Amino acid sequence: MRLKTDLVDVIEATIDGRLAELEPLQWDERPSICVVMASEGYPGDYEKGRVISGLDRAAELTDVKVFHAGTAIKDGEVVNAGGRVLGVTAIGNSISGAKLQAYKAVKEIRWQGAWCRKDISDKALEHSK
């Protein structure tokens, strides 16, 4: 999320051996955090195929992106298909602001057995004091 430069341009330049020709990469300087939403039971056994709701509401939040890792489409609906299911990522003007936005998005997303840690970014917040 923080990379402002078009990633496709970077990948194509890498493939073509022209990486040195690119302008320096541009970055959003604001902090970001990612909360992994996982399937209950992960890293052990967990149920698959549970319908995930709220992705559209989470997508409407400012400075939030939800990255799919362990999802699939089943009967036209997004379902969990792995242990680490979603990476709910947010940018903020501060670490605490990014955390607030990420957990707002997490609260919108539901499936039976969904869980996540509640302490993401706490060490970074403590370190920044």
Examine residue 129 and state whether it is found in any structural domain, yes or no. no
On whether both 110 and 95 belong to a single domain, the answer is: yes
Which residues, 6+ apart, have CB-to-CB distance to 94 below 8 Å? 31
DSSP 8-state class, residue 20: G
On whether both 4 and 58 belong to a single domain, the answer is: no
Q: What is the mean pLDDT of the chain?
A: 96
Tens digit of each residue's pLDDT (9 = 90 or more) over 19-60? 999 999 999 999 999 999 999 999 999 999 999 999 999 999
DSSP 8-state class, residue 5: S
Tens digit of each residue's pLDDT (9 = 90 or more) over 62-78? 999 999 999 999 999 99
Give dist(CA 108, CA 61) in Å, integer.
Answer: 10
**Distance (Å) of CA 85 to CA 10, 56, 73, 112:** 27, 16, 13, 12
Examine residue 128 and state whether it is found in any structural domain, yes or no. no
Give dist(CA 59, CA 97) in Å, integer.
Answer: 17
Q: Which residues pair with 71 in a beta bridge?
A: 80
The pLDDT of residue 13 is 97
What CATH number is attached to the domain comprising 45? 3.90.600.10
Give dist(CA 18, CA 62) in Å, integer.
Answer: 35
On whether both 51 and 110 belong to a single domain, the answer is: yes
Give the closest residue to 52 by CA, choosing from 35, 34, 70: 70
89: number of CA atoms within 13 Å, CB side?
13
On whether both 90 and 62 belong to a single domain, the answer is: yes
pTM above 0.95, yes or no: no
Examine residue 80 and state whether it is found in any structural domain, yes or no. yes
- Structural domain that includes position 69: 31-117
On whether both 35 and 74 belong to a single domain, the answer is: yes
Q: What is the number of structural domains in the chain?
A: 2
